[in-house]
Copies of this chain bind each other. A is one copy, B any other.
Amino acid sequence: MKENKKVLCFVAELFEDLELWYPVLRLREEGIEVKLVGREAGKVYKGKHGVSATSDLSFSEVNAQDYDGIIIPGGYAPDKLRVIQEALDLVKTADDMKKPIGQICHAGQVTVSAKILAGRKVTSVKAIKDDMVNSGAEWTDEEVVIDRNLVSSRTPSDLPAYVKKFIEVLNMDIM
Contact = CB atoms under 8 A, between A and B. Distances in A.
Interface residues of A, number: 18
A53 to B, nearest CB: 19
A157 B72 CA distance: 31
Contact of A83 (B112, B115, B126): B126
Interface string A66-103: 00000000001001101100000000000000000000
A135 interface: yes
A83 B32 CA distance: 37
Give the oligomeric copy count. 2
Contacts of A126: 83
A112 B134 CA distance: 9
A79 B135 contact: no
A80 B112 contact: no
A142 interface: no
A75 to B, nearest CB: 10
Contacts of A153: none
A1 interface: no
22 contacts: A76-B76, A79-B106, A79-B127, A79-B128, A80-B127, A82-B127, A82-B130, A83-B126, A83-B127, A109-B127, A109-B131, A112-B130, A112-B131, A112-B134, A113-B130, A115-B130, A130-B135, A131-B131, A131-B134, A134-B134, A134-B135, A134-B136
What 4 pairs between A and B have smallest CB-CB spacing? Answer: A134-B134, A131-B131, A113-B130, A79-B127
